[in-house]
A and B are shown apart, each in its own frame.
Chain A
Amino acid sequence: MIILKTENLSKEFPGVLALDNVNFDLEEGEIHGIVGENGAGKSTLVKILAGVFPPTRGKIYLYGKELHSHSPRELINIIGFVDQERELIPSFTVIENLFLGNEIVQGGFLKNRELQEKAKTFLKNYNVNLDLLALTRNLSPGQQQMLTIMKVLFRKPKIIIFDEPTASLSVKEIEIFNRLIEELRASKVSIIYISHRLSEVLSFANRITVLRNGKKVVTVRANEVSEKDLIRYMIAKDMHEQYPKIKKEIGDRIFEVKNYTNKKYGFNNINFYIKSGEIVGFAGLVGSGRTELAKLIFTGDRNSVGEIIFLSKEFIPKGPKDSINKGIVMIPEKRREEGIILGMSVKDNLALPNLDILSIGGFLKEQAINKHSLFLINSFNIKLASPLQLVYTLSGGNQQKVSVAKWLGERKINLWIFDEPTQGIDVETKTEIYLFMENLAKNGAGVWFISSDLNELLAISDRIYVMNKHKIVGEFSPPYNREMILSKMLGG
């Protein structure tokens, strides 16, 4: 019997179609795996099912009845969701988190003894060993994950959604988790299971749905496919999308990181280099440490050890201001939070990093600023009504152009860090940004290119490092072996 079903489910975020007409169904008592590359739409799909946000179009049926704009609260006892981001309150004890929103009370007072008894038997049932009175923030990431799972199970939902449940678990915890899954299967709970670990999905799932670019590729029986088949489904075949490539000369090493270690952030002996004229791609899963590494090097951190050579000189990162003055800029991944200032005009956003040059004795040179912003707006083809327009009114692609364009000024920049520069923007703008990166490299700068979109990474990069669990686990040069890169990304 099918208990949960979607019909032509779509979700649009500003400028991007995250989910495109997906038909998905879940049978009673089955474990249904969902796989796909980063950004394929897996999390979007399950978040809609869990009621985190509504779909833009399409229908959801639960037990054959159509669901209308449901909120997570209404369904919390039917659909349980173990999110990638753990929803625990760090300053609460284990037991407080376990019962959160589900407390046993009498006349407004908590019945502590009863709560404890109940929690003990419950955890024991699933062989989970947690100190009930420990503060949640003192638990290991794995223990926190187990607690999150227990919290969801506690409500005895009919359907459980797991989004990357084992990413932070230790070997021993994974064993406990595997047993837990078998128990749930035996008690006829239906499970939707997202994981990058294909072997795991293959061993658990009855059926597997593969998503790619927001579309469903296929739903298959797990015993009829191999890991290789899945990877083939996950990878897009339409490789002849437009990725511009400019001929450029690759020079000497412009930037080199030697034995970079930062215990606090879990980096140990990171080594890599970027040559002038080179676009160096960083592949990896979300959470593999690519963004953190770039940010630490750009913004500086006192826990950092190791040597960084930039333009043949030792470079000790002191902060964004210092890095920028020395010729390194970063276009951050979270453009709305970090790349632009939403409530300021396009003109002001474009002028902001260049005000030292665009002012005399502190006073702004209005004419120069106008000229500067018009130049950037034209050369980047930023579509707007007026330079005085507030940035938040622009589309995602145009916002990203502002975030990139503002760095063009009198300043000489030798290393550009692009963190997911094309995420959530339209195809046309993507191509423009690739072209811009190519031109930067052609003019002798080095480009550090972080992307979760493997297609663009392979097409644009002159060399690729693969990161996994805060380590560089591979270095590749063209022609790229796509399967090798993917397996390094997913490995371990």
Chain B
Amino acid sequence: MIEREARFEFQNFFIRYGTIFALFLITVFFSLTAKGFVEIANILNILRQISLLTIISEGFTMCLLIGEIDLSFAQIASLASVISADLMLKGWNPLISVLLSLSVGPLIGLGNGVLVTKVGIPALITTLSTGMITGGTVYMYTKGISLYGNMPISFLNIGRGNIGPLPILVLIMLLFVSLFQIVVNKTKFGKYMRATGENPTAAWLAGINIESYKRLGFILSGLGAAITGVLLTARLGAASPEGASGFLMDGFATALLGQTVFGIGKPTPFGTFIGALIVGTLNNGMTLLGAPYYIQDITKGIIIILSVSATSLQKKKIERR
């Protein structure tokens, strides 16, 4: 009996802290094997590297929160990135350029939401298609070429500057994580979104307008993507039509991993941040070790399967009770 309880405790511990423990193990592993991994400069570098990934994944986390999926966010980021670059290269006011390019995210997100809730197309198909349309639009808009040239320093500073020792991008990321964490845990909207994702029928019968909260999830996913796109332009000082496409795989790995952080199967903004730390540390460490890029892809694929397995097994357990 005691033995069984001990096992149960161990399982509980693993469910609660397994992911954070994994982050710890990965960190220890690279500290021992990869030269230069533990240096302050490299750690700041990791944080800077994951800042965009975190922001785009936070948006996607909102989509997971309402129980849906979004395959269009990487292309939304690309679109926002090229629009912001193009407008600024044409000499537009930076603020207006940024606001205009940010607006495409929530707009496409709203479109996704309407197609899913009003028309009833499954989110997978909806966002696959709108993602393709967005991606195509990016190529039409840029004619397939990268945009670079002289952009306003004030804008580029966002992507490259520091405040004290910390890169501005990292500060924006931390702000974003905290903001989303507050929305999810401390506001009515967050609770309603979670209820909608966990059990739409029960939420609906409890008087929650589940359709509008589903749309809100898609809108936030689009917003996170557009912000990421604009920041990407600011960081690179240029925009390419394929610039943000890598965020799809990494964003999935990050957010799905994030679901496993606090009790398996719960999308949380802070969990997603931990997820981004794991993905970022793996990317960084493996690059330092000189691992070929395909090993990184294989690793991320395995991460997605492991974290989704953990989530699915937990869901099964809940339903069986």
List B contacts of A342 (CB < 8 A): 198-199, 318-319, 321
Nearest Cβ on chain B to A220's Cβ, whole angstroms: 39
Choose, from B16-24, B82-90, B189-197, the stretch at the interface: B189-197
Task: Give Cα A320–Cα B7 distance, bound, in whole angstroms.
Answer: 44
For A329, give the chain B residue with the smallest CB separation: B207
A344 and B198 contacting across the interface, CB-CB below 8 Å: yes
User: At the interface, yes or no: A54 with Cβ under 8 Å from chain B?
Assistant: no
User: At the interface, yes or no: B205 with Cβ under 8 Å from chain A?
Assistant: yes
Of the candidates A299, A321, A348, A393, which one forms a contact with B191 in the assembled complex, judged by CB atoms under 8 Å apart? Answer: A348
For window 375-409 of A, CB contacts with B under 8 Å fall at: 390, 392-393, 406
Task: Give Cα A337–Cα B319 distance, bound, in whole angstroms.
Answer: 10
A330 and B205 contacting across the interface, CB-CB below 8 Å: yes
Whether A355 touches B191, Cβ cut-off 8 Å, given contacts A343-B266, A406-B206, is yes
User: At the interface, yes or no: A363 with Cβ under 8 Å from chain B?
Assistant: yes
User: At the interface, yes or no: A325 with Cβ under 8 Å from chain B?
Assistant: yes
A352 and B208 contacting across the interface, CB-CB below 8 Å: yes
Residues 184-225 of B, flagged 1 when their CB comes within 8 A of A and 0 if not, give 001111011011001101111111110000000000000000
List A contacts of B198 (CB < 8 A): 341-344
User: At the interface, yes or no: B269 with Cβ under 8 Å from chain A?
Assistant: no
User: At the interface, yes or no: A474 with Cβ under 8 Å from chain B?
Assistant: no
Tally B residues with Cβ within 8 Å of A. 26
Residues 261-278 of B, flagged 1 when their CB comes within 8 A of A and 0 if not, give 001011000000000000
A320 and B187 contacting across the interface, CB-CB below 8 Å: no
For window 70-88 of A, CB contacts with B under 8 Å fall at: none
Task: Give Cα A338–Cα B195 distance, bound, in whole angstroms.
Answer: 11
User: At the interface, yes or no: A9 with Cβ under 8 Å from chain B?
Assistant: no
Whether A339 touches B202, Cβ cut-off 8 Å, given contacts A362-B188, A364-B191, is yes
* Residue contacts A-B, CB under 8 angstroms, 27 given: A298-B205, A299-B205, A320-B204, A321-B207, A321-B208, A325-B207, A337-B201, A338-B199, A340-B202, A341-B195, A341-B198, A341-B202, A341-B203, A342-B318, A343-B199, A343-B266, A343-B318, A348-B191, A352-B206, A353-B207, A355-B192, A362-B187, A363-B188, A364-B186, A364-B187, A364-B191, A393-B321
Question: Which residues from chain A sit less than 8 Å from chain B, CB to CB?
Answer: 14, 298-299, 319-321, 323-325, 330, 332, 337-344, 348, 351-353, 355-356, 359, 362-364, 366, 390, 392-393, 406
Beyond A323-B207, A343-B265, 15 additional contacts (C-beta under 8 Å) are A320-B207, A321-B209, A324-B206, A337-B201, A341-B198, A342-B319, A344-B195, A348-B195, A352-B191, A352-B195, A363-B187, A364-B188, A390-B263, A392-B318, A406-B206
User: What are the 10 tightest A-B residue pairs by CB atom distance, in nearest-first order?
Assistant: A324-B207, A321-B207, A359-B188, A341-B199, A355-B188, A362-B187, A343-B198, A341-B198, A392-B318, A353-B206
